Chains A and B, each alone.
Chain A
Amino acid sequence: MILELITYLLKFIGIILLQILVVDNIELSSYINPYIYISFILLLPVTIKPWHALSLAFICGAVVDALSSTPGLHIAASVLLAYVRIHYLRFATTKEDTESRIRPSMSKKGIVWFVFYCFTMTLVHHTFLFFLEIYGFQEFFSTLLRIIFSTLVTVLMIVVGQLLFYNTKINNG
């Protein structure tokens, strides 16, 4: 249990550092702002208590906010993400998944399931975040493009990260 906590803490620090030091400095285009820190929330165990997930999302958002000078934006988006995730997983997991306490990962659930899960969740997060960032709908189409491109890049990064860091066989299920 303690070991599990420490690994999660290290993962948390690692993903935030990766976000702030590397990903935020990738200046491909102003339409591509990937936020990979959300993979910390996405990869929490399926069986985690809902209020734990929500509080962790809050903390995660607060740290990112503090480091990128945006008060509250990331908190609001991550908490929404954690909430939607709870409901999504309720429908998208089987009883065995919950009994074996798995994490929603590519190796356990297959690449199609995982990519679809990441894509839906990232889309929710980015849509909320980018519209909140501009405070309304006045730059609707350029924001929509930002959301689509950023979501695709974020999903790509998370999937590649899974392939790199978890050496697992993928069952194409």
Chain B
Amino acid sequence: MRNLIFFIYRYHVFFIFFVLEIAAFVIIFRFNNYQKASFLNYTNGVAGNFYNGVSNTQEYFNLRRVNDSLQLENARLRSQQITSYYRNNISISNINDTVYKQQYDYIAAQVVNNSVTKRNNYITLNRGRAHGIEKEMGVISENGIVGIVMNVSDHYCTVLSLLNSNCKISAKLQKSGAFGSLVWDGGDPRFARLLDVNKHVPIKVGDLVITSNFSTIFPEGLPIGKISEHSLDAGDNFHTINIDLFTDFSTVSTVYVIRNLFKQEQQALEQTLPTDKK
């Protein structure tokens, strides 16, 4: 027993190091998965306030107010647009005389913190639970998509930027309708890659890439970018496609968070599907 205590005392530095590293790895593995992330929920409020103060000092006060009102108007107009309505006219009930039912709602938000040079980039917005934002809502800018809401506090939310290794977005080619997944492999923040597009699909430079209708996060048909370069290696089944993103992540400042009003319905329905036994 005395030997054991002596042993621990002798190597106590190593033991402390070991315990702290274990603690760090527990945090990493528990919280790095963005769906489960809750560590950031605690720090989000504080960090959000902090960044908000920073961003306040960086903006002209008047410009900001004008921007806000314009943005609110924009959000309102966007949610009245025909594309954010769900077509209801296939329904057999003709009693309900509304042909369109609103499916998507847009919430205007300001970027208060952003990065583009890291391997895993995150964005902080100045809207949170109090404004109706929840986890896994899509975020778009006026040009194209930006990312997915990751964590929400009362007045702020953090967004998993498209420029992040954990971010994979279902996309398709507008012309052929071929599906692929959009990822960012580090490097230049202006370009991303489209994976899993089969080799028989004809593609050419300049083709438009839009969001697919598979996800409950983004409505179908939002612009993402256009093909800047593509190649097909011999023996490879999939095209290698580089995409020029429409959103300029280094200057993005006003964004919209998309609320899918039918999301719960769709997910609840999909949960009733029988799952494979593992």
Residues of A within 8 A of B28 (CB): 71-73, 76, 132
Residues of A in contact, count (CB < 8 Å): 40
User: Are A72 and B13 within 8 A (Cβ)?
Assistant: no
User: Are A21 and B21 within 8 A (Cβ)?
Assistant: no
User: Are A71 and B32 within 8 A (Cβ)?
Assistant: yes
Residue A172 lies at the interface, judged by CB distance under 8 Å to chain B: no
Given the contacts A24-B115, A27-B117, A75 and B54 also touching, CB distance less than 8 Å: no
User: Are B187 and A71 within 8 A (Cβ)?
Assistant: no
Closest to B250 in A: A27
Give CA–CA (A86, B20) in the complex, Å.
15
Closest to A139 in B: B186
Give CA–CA (A130, B25) in the complex, Å.
15
Residue B167 lies at the interface, judged by CB distance under 8 Å to chain A: no
What number of A-B contacts does a CB cutoff of 8 Å give? 105
Residues of B within 8 A of A69 (CB): 40, 47, 122, 124, 150, 158
Residue B96 lies at the interface, judged by CB distance under 8 Å to chain A: no
User: Are B21 and A80 within 8 A (Cβ)?
Assistant: yes
Residue A50 lies at the interface, judged by CB distance under 8 Å to chain B: yes
Residue A13 lies at the interface, judged by CB distance under 8 Å to chain B: no
Interface residues on B, range: 35 or more
For A61-79 the 0/1 string (1 means CB < 8 A from B) is: 1000111111111011001
Residues of A within 8 A of B30 (CB): 71
Residue A3 lies at the interface, judged by CB distance under 8 Å to chain B: no
Give CA–CA (A80, B18) in the complex, Å.
9
User: Are B47 and A71 within 8 A (Cβ)?
Assistant: no
For A24-36 the 0/1 string (1 means CB < 8 A from B) is: 1001111011000
Closest to A80 in B: B21
Residues of A within 8 A of B189 (CB): 30
B128 to chain A, nearest CB (A): 15
For A100-128 the 0/1 string (1 means CB < 8 A from B) is: 00000000000000000000000000000
Give CA–CA (A51, B14) in the complex, Å.
9
Closest to A78 in B: B24
Give CA–CA (A50, B20) in the complex, Å.
13
Residues of B within 8 A of A80 (CB): 17, 21
Closest to A29 in B: B117
Give CA–CA (A115, B21) in the complex, Å.
27
Give CA–CA (A58, B31) in the complex, Å.
17
User: Are A75 and B24 within 8 A (Cβ)?
Assistant: yes
Closest to A52 in B: B16
For B169-193 the 0/1 string (1 means CB < 8 A from A) is: 0000000000000000111110000
User: Are A51 and B186 within 8 A (Cβ)?
Assistant: no
Closest to A130 in B: B119
Q: Which of A33, A61, A142 interacts with B187 by CB under 8 Å? A: A142
Closest to B119 in A: A133
Give CA–CA (A55, B12) in the complex, Å.
13
Residue A46 lies at the interface, judged by CB distance under 8 Å to chain B: no
Residue B100 lies at the interface, judged by CB distance under 8 Å to chain A: no
Give CA–CA (A116, B33) in the complex, Å.
37
For A16-45 the 0/1 string (1 means CB < 8 A from B) is: 000001001001111011000000000000
Sample of 16 more A-B contacts, CB < 8 Å, known A30-B186, A66-B46: A27-B250, A30-B116, A30-B119, A30-B187, A58-B20, A61-B24, A66-B40, A66-B43, A67-B47, A71-B37, A72-B24, A72-B25, A76-B25, A80-B21, A132-B28, A146-B119
Provide 12 A-B residue pairs closer than 8 Å at the C-beta atoms, listed in order of the A residue. Answer: A29-B117, A30-B186, A54-B20, A55-B16, A67-B47, A69-B47, A72-B24, A72-B27, A75-B20, A76-B25, A80-B21, A133-B119
The chain B residues found within 8 Å of chain A, CB to CB, are 12-14, 16-17, 20-21, 23-28, 30-32, 37, 39-40, 43, 46-47, 50, 54, 115-120, 122, 124, 150, 158, 165, 185-189, 250
**6 nearest A-B residue pairs (beta carbon):** A72-B27, A72-B28, A76-B24, A66-B43, A71-B31, A75-B24
